[in-house]
Amino acid sequence: MKMPKTIKKLTAEDVESIIEIARDSWKWTYKDIYNKEFIENWISEKYSREKLLNDIIRSQKDDGIIFLGSFVKSIPIGFIELKIGDYRAELLRLYLKPEYTHRGIGELLLLEAEKIMKKKGIVECILYVHKKNSIGISFYKKNGFEVKHIDGDDLVMEKEYKY
């Protein structure tokens, strides 16, 4: 189904939606990997309102963080977050509501982040993805990331940009 999608920087108003998207996506993505208690603890710790607000403000001030949301009818349904260094970036998070996956929205979020990275002269982006997250791995490979090495339960993937 075609639907209008908007991608823009997240604001303080979006905090509760980000938490809801993260919780739904984690339960779906990691259902065979982590138990419910682990997921709940992870969400309350890593997606605390305080931490999210801090990252949103940094992204708005262009202070080393890119934090974008994808909106359908003004409602956030996914987000991407990256940490930006001098020449290198790390993709920290990319999550969509499960019912919005496989419709090209992840690619749109990544492309928008890549436009911003290009302006900043980023030449390399890395990310960590769980070795059992086959959808994530497949998505990243299709979007130009290569597996560089294994770090514990994660694959470390990298994409180089030549402008």
Ligand X SMILES: CC(C)(COP(=O)(O)OP(=O)(O)OC[C@H]1O[C@@H](n2cnc3c(N)ncnc32)[C@H](O)[C@@H]1OP(=O)(O)O)[C@@H](O)C(=O)NCCC(=O)NCCS
Query: Could you count the other beta carbons within 10 Å of the beta carbon of residue 20?
Result: 14
d(CA 163, CA 152): 33
71 or 139, CB closer to ligand X? 139
Contacts with ligand X by CB under 6 A lie at 25, 29, 94-96, 101-107, 129, 133, 135-136, 138-139, 142
43 or 57, CB closer to ligand X? 43
62 or 99, CB closer to ligand X? 99
In the complex, the smallest distance separating the C-beta of residue 70 from ligand X, rounded to whole angstroms, is: 9
d(CA 124, CA 109): 17
Catalytic residue among 47, 95, 100, 140: 140
**Euclidean distance between the first and final Cα of the chain, in Å?**
34
What 3-state class would DSSP assign to 156? strand
163 is catalytic: no
Catalytic residues: 140
